[in-house]
Amino acid sequence: MTGIKPKTLADFDSELAAEHIKGQWLIDPLLERLAGGPRPAGQAHIWRWRDIEARLDEACDVLAEGLTARRSLALMNPALPGGTTHTLTAGIQMLNPGEQAWAHRHTMSAIRFVIRGGPGLSTVVDGEACQMDDYDLVLTPSWTWHDHHNDTTGNPVWLDALDIGLIMSLNTGFYETYGEERQALRPSQGEYLSQRAGLVRPVWEQRKERLAPFRYAWSDVEPVLLSMADQEGSPYDGVVLEYVNPMTGGPTTPTLSCWVQMLRPHEQTQSHRHTSSSIYFVVRGEGTTRVGDEEISWGQHDTFVVPNWLEHSFRNSSASSEAILFSVNDIPTLRALGLYYEQPETSLGTAPWPAVPARPGTTGGR
Ligand code: 1HN
């Protein structure tokens, strides 16, 4: 054979490329990159309450009623093209006196954590009116109709968090407007989901596992949290509770988990990292969170973000008061896919149940 050059690998690669095919050997740099583990998406950042509140007041002046669906200021991670984390977007929303945010629905699941509410502030979710008192949690799960109503003379405000990055990366976004400002209400409280997701349920009805109740009142949650002040808690998060779906005992929604955590006076947690990302809102107290090489100092009503796979730990700076943080994370999504990992150890759901007290006169226990 003279004159005919044997085909080189480079020739072969370009022929394949012309047919929209790529040899795995060319994808190798990807695997090298993965060998170091996930890269944190975005960076740690804090949005201070006094700055946000001032901007919300301005937004109420410059953005007239009816101009937009929602007066929500989204918190953009400085190191991401969009979103607060790669999966989650938080915002702070305010309504003017008498204003409503008209009814719509989307495949993003959203949670609302009330910062300043009270009687007269409500979100209607699939026909169910949910009052929004201070620090209540209201869910608007995927594809539920929701509209917000401010029948007060003040400017209520709450934290929104949605799984926007997740839904967009899966290309599963749908959106629809209701066509009226206010959706129709269920004819009686006897039809409310909240009546079916508690201690009792109607025996004659199908059981719907996917849906959770839409409102978790702070007046129900806070006493449980405070009652656990003497418990060991998690070495990484202190006394931390998940808002559960009482129909399944599982996470808050299929994609989002909401947590509330108490750091006791001067409590310092151990450092760890995990594949989930979280957005924190300070209910009360003061402290610091170390994230990677940064230290974030937080106070009441600040919002901060801890990206995926960055080492972090918490400290309550007060010697006398507890600090309480609300947070939302994407753990259910990762767990459903078998992709939730922690370092240095798995800490979720590992401690034993509290033991039954020993019978008097015995050493107890089995
Ligand atoms: C949304 O529907 C709300 O319903 C708030 O209050 C913030 C941010 C992005 C996309 C949809 C709401 C939102 C949002």
Which CATH number do you get for residue 120? Answer: 2.60.120.10
Domain-embedded: residue 320: yes
Could you say which DSSP state residue 10 is in? H
Residue 278 domain flag = yes
Predicted local distance difference test score (pLDDT) of residue 31: 86
Q: What is the pLDDT of residue 213?
A: 82
Distance 139 CA to ligand 1 centre (A): 12
Quote the pLDDT of residue 212. Answer: 78
Give me the pLDDT at residue 68, please.
Answer: 64
> Ligand 1 center to residue 312 CA distance, Å?
29
Give the distance (Å) from ligand 1 centre to CA of residue 158. Answer: 12
pLDDT at site 67: 58
Residue (of 12, 53, 3, 76) closest to 279 by Cα position: 76
Judge if the beta carbon of residue 101 lies within 6 A of ligand 1.
yes
Cis geometry, peptide bond prior to residue 344 (ω within 30 degrees of 0): yes
pTM of this prediction exceeds 0.75: yes
Separation of alpha carbons 197 and 123, rounded Å: 18
Please indicate, yes or no, if residue 350 is contained in any of the structural domains: no
> What integer pLDDT is reported at residue 1 of this predicted model?
53
Residues of the chain with pLDDT under 50: none
Nearest atom in ligand 1 to 91's CA: 7
Q: Are the C-beta atoms of 149 and 123 separated by less than 8 Å?
A: yes
Whether the CB of 70 sits within 6 Å of ligand 1? yes
Q: Which of 94, 179, 82 shows the shortest CA–CA distance to 132?
A: 94
Q: For residue 1, is it within any domain?
A: no
> What's the pLDDT score for residue 209?
80
Q: Is the CB of 91 under 6 A from ligand 1?
A: yes
- Model pLDDT, residue 2: 61
Q: Separation of 165 CA from ligand 1 center, angstroms?
A: 13
Tokens of 52: 């946000």
Nearby residues of 78 by Cβ (< 8 Å), 6 or more positions away: 42, 43, 45
Cα–Cα distance for residue pair 20/8, rounded to 1 Å:
19
Has residue 289 been placed in a domain?
yes
Domain membership of residue 9 (yes or no) is no
CA of 34 to the centre of ligand 1 (A): 34
Instruction: In whole angstroms, give the CA distance from residue 235 to residue 218.
Output: 25
169 falls within a domain: yes
> 157-162 and 128-131 as β-strands: parallel, antiparallel, unpaired?
unpaired
**Cβ(72) – ligand 1 distance below 6 Å:** yes
Q: Whose CA is nearest to atom 6 of ligand 1?
A: 70
Ligand 1 binding pocket mutation candidate from 150, 162, 164 (most atoms within 8 A of CB): 162
For the chain, helix (H) and strand (E) counts, in that order, are 6, 22
Distance from C-alpha of 48 to C-alpha of 364, rounded to nearest angstrom: 51
Ligand 1 contact via 146 beta carbon (within 6 Å): yes
Q: Total domain count for the chain?
A: 1
Domain ranges, residue 256: 45-193+209-343
Distance 89 CA to ligand 1 centre (A): 10
Q: Is residue 365 part of a domain?
A: no
